[in-house]
Amino acid sequence: MILNTGGRTDTVQYYSEWLLNRFREGYVLSRNPLFPEIVNRIELNPETIDVVVFCSKDYSPILERLYEISDRFNCYYHYTITAYDEDIEPRVPSIEKSIDTLKRLADQVGPEKIGWRYDPVLLTDKYTIQRHLDTFGWMAGELTPFVDRCIFSFVEMYKKLEVNMPELKPVSEAEKLTLAEGLGRIARENGLWLQTCATKENYEQFGIHTSGCMTTEIFSKALGLDFKKTPHKGNRAGCLCMESRGLGDYNSCPNGCRYCYANKDHNKAMQNYLTHDPDSPLLLGHLRPNDRIQPSRQVSMLNRELSLF
């Protein structure tokens, strides 16, 4: 089983104490997003959890205690650092601070376990193609020695973005090709492995690999694991990843990123954040009388004897 700790909210940046408490106690409860009265119980057991995947925009809150999880579990780390300022990502650290934190993370866990996410790529009057190429070029020069790969995708034009980001411009096919050519060229110049994530387009002519961001190939290479023959079912349309299990809740990330798919309402997310209790087994609030707890099906996909070596 692959456990994704950051698919619904940034647990590392805002809920690190809760996350550490859950791993220490050995289980976590997670509400079903579609049926809130159903609560799934996930056993945080290294015998059934093959890889713990983190995804965050700021690892500084957990760095000093990350070993509490990484000493017991196989871990892989996605670190999102984009070209955007506070007008798009209001509560995300600056690019310079984020780069410094990523380097500290690499010193601690090893570059082979870190995927830099440069996504979503979006266009406005301020964030032009040239600005992306200039910023990505500078960042690639700083980060390539400290990461295993870089993953990018173009913004999904969700209906709610018409309200949250009225200045957002649709990215045409011609603009995607221009960006892909430029990003691919920069990656080659820096010796950086660049790949897409959940995109229907193929840019291999620019040296950009087509892959998922959570695959047996990535985890085997980074963590020395041997997986059984496992289908990559994906987690949504166009996704080439292994199936994973998420924890936490949507509408709970205070970062306020205006392109966010996990928050429908940023004000509601802040209100929800205030209900957080780091000692609760649930990310938000507590169990209610009518809740039904269901054990989560957890099956290891590893050839464990081979993975030990």
Query: Model confidence over 31-67: pLDDT tens digits?
Result: 988 899 999 999 999 999 999 999 999 999 999 999 9
Q: What is the pLDDT of residue 307?
A: 52
Rg of the chain over all Cα atoms, to the nearest angstrom = 19
Predicted TM-score (pTM) of this structure = 0.94
Q: What pLDDT is stored for residue 236 in this prediction?
A: 63
Q: What is the 3-state secondary structure (H, E, C) of 80-92?
A: ECCCCCCCCCCCC
Closest residue by Cα to residue 309 from 249, 250, 224, 228: 224
Which residues fall within 8 angstroms of residue 138, CB to CB, at 6 or more apart?
none
Are the C-beta atoms of 137 and 102 separated by less than 8 Å? no
Q: What pLDDT is stored for residue 288 in this prediction?
A: 95
Amino acid at 37: E
CB of 15 closer than 8 Å to CB of 22: no
| pLDDT reported for residue 160 | 78
Edge-to-edge, what's the strand order for the sheet holding 27-31?
27-31, 38-43, 292-295
How much is the pLDDT for 309?
Answer: 43
Amino acid letter at 27? Answer: Y
| 3-state DSSP assignment of residue 41 | strand
Rounded to 5°, the CA angle 106-246-291 comes to 140
* Helices H / strands E in the chain, number of each: 10, 11
Asked whether 54 and 19 are in contact (CB, 8 A), the reply is no
3-state SS assignment for residue 209:
strand
Write down the residue that tokens 């193609």 correspond to: 129
C-alpha to C-alpha distances, 189 to 82, 99, 155, nearest whole angstrom: 19, 19, 25
pLDDT of residue 238: 66
Name the residue ranges covered by the structural domains of the chain.
Answer: 2-307
> Among candidates 135, 119, 143, 129, which has minimal Cα distance to 195?
119
| Predicted pLDDT of residue 124 | 97
Could you tell me if 56 and 81 are in contact, meaning their C-beta atoms sit under 8 angstroms apart? no
Quick check: 57 and 11 in contact, CB under 8 A? no
**220-274 residue pLDDT tens:** 999 999 999 877 776 666 677 888 988 889 999 999 999 998 888 888 999 999 9
Query: Tokens for 251?
Result: 């509408």
Closest CA to 120 of 85, 151, 162, 163: 151
Residue ranges, the chain, pLDDT below 70: 234-238, 305-309
Burial of 138 (0-12, 13-18, 19+ CB in 10 A): middle
CA distances from 42 to 11, 31, 49, 173, 235 (A): 16, 11, 10, 42, 18
Residue 195: per-residue pLDDT:
96
Instruction: Give the pLDDT confidence score for residue 234 in this predicted structure.
Output: 64
**Strand, coil or helix: what is 305?**
helix
